[in-house]
């Protein structure tokens, strides 16, 4: 009898030791929660587009996906609890500095940031520019609140943690994990507001994540993270950069108002190839003579590609083109770049390289 009990105890102890060994071997992933739809709740299960964002705290998000424990040792921090359309430059700086502090810790292998989808692409690109680490940083959101039928948040969060825990995600820049895809934080944008496949890159995803495993197909070509000349630890404030939308019958009213409010640069969200209406050109040239940087981008959703000296003589006017960056991403790069230089030629180099 005693022998049988001893045997059972030994088996139990061995099992515990094995479990502890697995836990000790697991990568450590920190989830930084900022709010958004992934933390939202609707009144009924049929409410997939009508709900309140930023309601569920990070501990409940983690508890709602117990499978996370199979891929990483996870802990959470509630950084903000807001809808992402309310993100400001101050929020970006605070989040960036917290991420920078965490990636320096030996006991942190990866970071996941839960985020509202409205400005998720902006935060992802900002972190891609200013965080000096090759550790995986993965942003994740959802298009439906967790209370809705076919809610996408649970799987998105599981995939994000699995991606952040994987060694093969290192060195690929800041990632966005949505709808089974792994996209570059530089390229990806929200293309529609009511479907789970909302986030797309005009140049395609970097990879896919299936049942917790990453499958990679391409690498980011532009400078990012460890190869970036920008460092969040050296940035304490961000200059104001505004966006003015180009359209038929457009006037220069918005551009002048942005400059009067203190904007150091204005992103022209132009039609087609960043086209500028002829009745706006004189106003933009005047603003440039006053020291305001003029940056031509395109609001073409599927990938506006602005060519220098096409449509407008950028060299003559001393304007900058945003390359393939959409207006909101161009704003992020401009506000980061202006912390280091106010020279238009240097700004153009930065837009080519990032």
CA distances from residue 106 to 27, 54, 101, 137 in whole angstroms, order as listed: 11, 31, 11, 15
Length of the chain: 354
Tell me what the mean pLDDT of segment 67-91 comes to. 97
- Say if 26-227 and 240-353 have the same CATH topology: yes
Determine the CATH number of domain 240-353.
Answer: 3.40.50.40
- In tens, the pLDDT along 160-203 reads 999 999 999 999 999 999 999 999 999 999 999 989 999 999 99
Q: Report the distance separating Cα 146 and Cα 42, nearest Å.
A: 8
pLDDT given at position 41: 82
Check whether 118 is labelled as a binding-site residue.
Answer: yes
Determine the CATH number of domain 26-227.
Answer: 3.40.50.1170
Asked if 186 contacts 173 with a C-beta cutoff of 8 angstroms, the reply is yes
Q: Model pTM?
A: 0.91
- Model confidence band, residue 48 (pLDDT cutoffs 50, 70, 90): low
Domain ranges of the chain: 26-227, 240-353
Check whether 117 is labelled as a binding-site residue.
Answer: yes
Active-site amino acid positions = 37, 117
- In tens, the pLDDT along 121-144 reads 999 999 999 999 999 999 999 999
pLDDT given at position 22: 46
Tell me what the mean pLDDT of segment 222-236 comes to. 98
């Amino acid at each position: 009898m005693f022998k049988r009990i001893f045997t059972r105890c030994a088996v139990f102890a061995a099992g515990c030791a094995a479990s502890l060994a697995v836990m000790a071997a697991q990568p450590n992933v920190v989830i930084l929660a900022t709010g958004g739809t992934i933390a939202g709740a609707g009144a009924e299960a049929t409410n997939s587009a009508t709900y309140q964002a930023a309601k569920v705290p990070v501990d409940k998000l983690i508890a709602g996906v117990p499978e996370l424990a199979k891929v990483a040792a996870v802990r959470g921090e509630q950084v903000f609890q807001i809808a992402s359309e309310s993100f400001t430059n101050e929020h970006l700086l605070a989040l960036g500095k917290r991420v920078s502090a965490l990636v320096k810790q030996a006991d942190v292998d990866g970071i996941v940031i839960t985020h509202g989808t409205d400005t998720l692409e902006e935060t992802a690109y900002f972190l891609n520019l200013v965080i000096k680490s090759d550790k995986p940083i993965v942003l994740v959101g959802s298009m439906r609140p967790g209370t809705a039928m076919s809610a996408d948040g649970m799987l998105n969060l599981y995939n994000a943690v699995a991606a952040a825990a994987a060694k093969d995600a290192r060195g690929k820049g800041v990632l966005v994990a949505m709808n089974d895809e792994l996209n570059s934080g530089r390229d990806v944008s929200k293309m529609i507001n009511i479907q789970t496949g909302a986030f797309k890159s005009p140049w395609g995803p970097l990879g896919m994540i299936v049942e917790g495993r990453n499958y990679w197909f391409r690498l980011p070509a532009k400078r990012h993270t460890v190869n970036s000349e920008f460092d969040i630890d050296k940035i304490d404030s961000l200059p104001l950069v505004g966006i003015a939308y180009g359209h038929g019958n457009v006037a220069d009213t918005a551009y002048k108002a942005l400059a009067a409010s203190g904007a150091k640069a204005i992103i022209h969200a132009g039609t087609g190839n960043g086209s500028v209406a002829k009745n706006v050109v004189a106003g933009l040239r005047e603003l440039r003579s006053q020291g305001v940087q003029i940056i031509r981008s395109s609001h073409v959703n599927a990938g506006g590609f602005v060519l220098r000296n096409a449509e407008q003589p950028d060299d003559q006017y001393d304007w900058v083109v945003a390359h393939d960056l959409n207006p909101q991403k161009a704003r992020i790069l401009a506000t980061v770049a202006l912390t280091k230089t106010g020279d238009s030629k240097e700004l153009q180099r930065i837009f080519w390289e990032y």
